[in-house]
Amino acid sequence: MSSVHHRTATVDGHEIFYREAGPADAPAIVLLHGYPTSSFMFRELIPLLADDYHVIAPDHLGFGHSDAPLVGEFTYTFDALAELTSGLLDQLGLDRYALYVQDYGAPIGWRLALQHPERISALVTQNGNGYEDGFVESFWTDVWAYGANPGPDTEPAVRAALSVEAIRWQYVHGVPDPSLVSPDTWEHDFALVSREGNDEVQLALFRDYQNNRPLYPLLHEFLRTSEVPVLAVWGRNDEIFGPAGARAFARDAKDAEVHLIDGGHFLLESHLDVVAGYLRGFLGRVLG
């Protein structure tokens, strides 16, 4: 089994942490994590890919082991996070790669694809939304209200998402056997978002999330014109990004492969082998 290296790079003056494994000359795959986690979510998937692929999994700024400047020191937007990710991949010399996106990793990945469509060899989305279809109204109503009118009336509902109870819910809700999900996951994430000032980082990104939606038509056009291979492997019980979000990729991606699995938002914690099986089969077919 290939070793996993834990590294940092300085991008625009910020230290970005990333996990790297596999042969440098193998086809590359970039793994982009969601909220409220980090590349930690890929800790068990990376070794399952690294024998055949060059795997890169960064922590977004403000997450994991990357720098986490306060909101007065950095303007947190998805545009800005995508620019830092692009800068990291440029430093690493990656000019062709597959993307695996989940949650926040999706809008960051879509920006990378739209900025440099020629670099994208394949797209894999695991509960990473690219369509209005995927938004579960009961979860997103408060986020949209906060983005439209941030203030004391709308902030408490979204600030509640920073609690350990809410983070635990993201991990275990919709999982048929919650005992498969290690408490280390939500305790790890809660500790990091509880760092002084990090709450304001997360609130800034909640406010900015609405600005991802105008990208969707551009993403759909990219899928149609590029005919990039797409795999959607999705926890069908996710009540943040519902299964309609997975099925929607088949509208625009040629021969999109869609698998709905009896799991939740963080599918790798309960169905690692299932996801890895679909992923390795897909990458083997489309990347060779």
Ramachandran angles phi, psi of 254, nearest 5°? -65, 125
Gap between the Cα atoms of 56 and 9, Å rounded? 12
How buried is residue 75: exposed, middle or buried, by Cβ count under 10 Å (0-12/13-18/19+)? exposed
181 DSSP assignment: S
Which amino acid, 57? Answer: A
Pairing of strands 120-125, 97-101: parallel
Among candidate residues 254, 278, 288, the one with its CA nearest the CA of residue 125: 278
- Which positions are catalytic? 265
Give the separation between CA 107 and CA 32, rounded to whole angstroms: 10
Cα 73 to the center of its chain, rounded Å: 24
Using N-to-C axis directions, what is the helix angle for 183-193 and 164-172, rounded to 10°? 140
- Give me the residue label for tokens 């055949």: 52
Which residue type, as a one-letter code, is found at position 41?
M
N- to C-terminal Cα separation, the chain: 20
Q: Name residue 9's beta-bridge partners.
A: 16
- Which 3-state string (H, E, C) describes 68-128? CCCCCCCCCCHHHHHHHHHHHHHHCCCCCEEEEECCCHHHHHHHHHHHCHHHEEEEEECCC
Secondary structure of residue 8 in the 3-state scheme: strand
Token pair listed for 258: 């869609």
Instruction: Give the DSSP H/E element, type plus range, for residue 7.
Output: strand 4-11
